[in-house]
Amino acid sequence: MTAKIIDGTSIAADIQEEVKIAVEAMQATHNYVPGLATVLVGENPASTTYVRMKQKRCAEVGIRSIGHNLPEDIPQEDLEELVGDLNADPEVNGILVQLPLPGHLDEEAVLNTIDLGKDVDGFHPVNIGRLAMKGRNPLFIPCTPYGVMVLLEKSGVEISGSEAVVLGRSNIVGLPVAMLLQKANATVTICHSRTKDLAAHTREADILVAAIGRREMVTGDMVKPGAAVIDVGINQKEDPTKKRGYRLVGDVDFESAKEVAGAITPVPGGVGPMTIAMLLKNTLHAAEMSLAD
Ligand code: GUN
């Protein structure tokens, strides 16, 4: 049996269209459009590309983006002062500080400075704390984990009562995905670089989320027949047939896994397009909350 391919590009486009319609309605009703401030420190090429993509997608749905490109050597106080100004600016609904920050900066202190109501990345420790706690809800769900959950839901995967295994425990993906799956009543196992017998865990998973950052590490023999496999990895693999010399692959060996799984996301075209779609949704949500104040 070959798995159903979960089309993240199409699901993300639907969400983006919903946001666009809601932004148009907000403009018509309140004469107000959501605004997203992007903060980029230095010139890391991947970060620069990501921020540019976020700004482009904002423009497509009518969200105003306000870009702040700062020098690599900006002092901590100046960065925190900028975040403070953005917190106070009524035209800014969301503040996105692109990570990673250069080594001399205290990332945790910067994220702590962002107003909870503008934390559209959902990285503020209080937001993550609420996500972790029973009976509490975060103001914003971190974008990539949110995208993973939407892909599962839109693909008709039953989360409640399932065995879910998350590979990876990063603050941005692994940890919040695990907490969201638990909130949705899955029984969750988190595996990481020190897990002794990874395959023994993955073979039990009805839902397998791979966010471990190791190219094509999950092979078909590690997948439970019929499982839903969500691949968050983005890795380069040499490919002389491509002009740039490589192509993108995930943490899952797609060819072997798709023969065993019930549903699977491709790379590219799975989780990737969802992250920005969920950022747009969070920014809209921030603007709705500010109008309701
Ligand atoms: N770096 C890698 N992923 C992300 C993300 O989702 N948001 C921000 N701000 N930085 C990132």
φ/ψ region of 91 (left if φ > 0, alpha if ψ in -120 to 50, else beta) reads: alpha
User: What pLDDT, on a 0 to 100 scale, did the predictor assign at position 293?
Assistant: 81
- Please, which residues bridge with residue 67 across strands? 38
Does the C-beta of 96 come closer than 6 Å to ligand 1?
yes
Contact (Cβ atoms closer than 8 angstroms) between residue 232 and residue 271: yes
Q: Is residue 15 part of a domain?
A: no
Residues in the chain, overall count = 293
pLDDT above 80 for 1: no
Percent of the chain with pLDDT over 70: 100
* One domain, residues 185 and 110: no
* One domain, residues 151 and 255: yes
Q: Is residue 26 part of a domain?
A: no
* One domain, residues 175 and 257: yes
Range of the domain at 250: 143-273
Residue 227 CA to ligand 1 center (angstroms) comes to 28
Given the residues 16, 118, 119, 121, the one annotated as active site: 121
Number of domains in the chain: 2
For ligand 1, pick from 98, 119, 140, 276 the residue to mutate: most ligand atoms within 8 Å of CB.
98
Please state whether the predicted TM-score (pTM) of the whole model is above 0.95: yes
Does the C-beta of 179 come closer than 6 Å to ligand 1?
no
Question: Can you tell me the distance from the alpha carbon of 80 to that of 157, in angstroms, rounded to the nearest whole number?
Answer: 42
pLDDT band of residue 75 (cuts 50, 70, 90) is very high
The CATH number linked to 153 is 3.40.50.720
pLDDT single digits (tens) 27-59: 999 999 999 999 999 999 999 999 999 999 999
Angle at 114 between CA 110 and CA 119, to 5 degrees: 120
* One domain, residues 257 and 161: yes
* One domain, residues 69 and 155: no
Query: Nearest Cα to 35, choosing from 62, 11, 14?
Result: 62
Q: Is residue 185 part of a domain?
A: yes
The CATH number linked to 63 is 3.40.50.10860
pLDDT single digits (tens) 227-242: 999 999 999 999 999 9
Contact (Cβ atoms closer than 8 angstroms) between residue 268 and residue 246: no
